[in-house]
Structure 1
Amino acid sequence: MLCVLGFVLPYSQFVPFILEHGFDIKLFFEQLFANRISGFFGMDVIVSSLVLWIFVFLEGTRLKIQNLWVYIACNLLVGVSLGLPLFLFMRERQLEQQTETLGY
């Protein structure tokens, strides 16, 4: 459910922008950093994304989770709001499988 919300809510804002302006990257970043408050949120998302990439790589490698690129792609195509809950869900599944395999 969180993955669905993480996709739908950001795209509810992004799709109208794309329909109105197309893929105008320059305008996108101008509006993202239009003032200090929007810049605050923009920088927060950028830093959160970098932290997510490191977490996905380290934790995914440790737990031998397959296709780690998928979570980075979700982050880049939608945002932390999809990449993080999806990775955490798959991480939990992997942990449960490892527990079952060990017979606990």
Structure 2
Amino acid sequence: MLYFAPWIVENGFDLQAMVALWKANDMVTGIYWDLVISAIVLTVWVISEVWVRRNWLALLAIPATWMIGVSCGLPLYLFLRAKPVR
């Protein structure tokens, strides 16, 4: 958010402009797709394990992943997953 907040203050919350910047060149596009694929895989993993373990609190990792990032969602999920299986 340290980098997003100043951009949002300067340009407003223009989602189309933000997505256009994510596809500005091949390097940025590669990083963008790497993070999107990682977030999708993490979401599928969380849902599949929550389905088996019935640890509903661990679903908080999904919005954390998509709103903050994989680097927040994954550690949060691993922390919430530490609860023993019933």
TM-score, normalization by structure 1: 0.75
Q: CA deviation at 1:60?
A: 1.9
Structure (1/2) with the larger helix percentage: 1
Deviation for aligned residue 1:68: 4.2
- Asked if the contact 2:58/2:81 (under 8 Å) is kept, the reply is no
Aligned match of 1:89: 79
Partner of 1:14: 4
**Larger relative CO (CA 8 A, sep 6+): 1 or 2?**
1
Structure 2 counterparts to residues 1-104 of structure 1, below 5 A: 11-92=1-82, 94-95=83-84, 98=85
**1:62 offset after TM fit, Å?**
1.8
AA aligned to 1:26 is Q
Quote the offset at 1:41 in angstroms.
0.3
In 2: Cα distance, 1:80 partner to 1:61 partner: 21
Matched residue, 1:5: none
SS at match of 1:49: helix
1:63-97 deviations in Å (ceiling 9; x for gaps): 221134421111121111111110011112x13xx
Q: Larger Rg: 1 or 2?
A: 1
Ranges in structure 2 where 5+ consecutive residues have no aligned partner = none
Give the drift of 1:13: 1.1
C-alpha distance in 2 between matches for 1:43 and 1:53: 15
Asked whether the 8 Å contact 2:58–2:80 carries over to 1, the reply is: no
Identity percentage over the alignment?
Answer: 30
Q: RMSD of the alignment, in Å?
A: 1.5
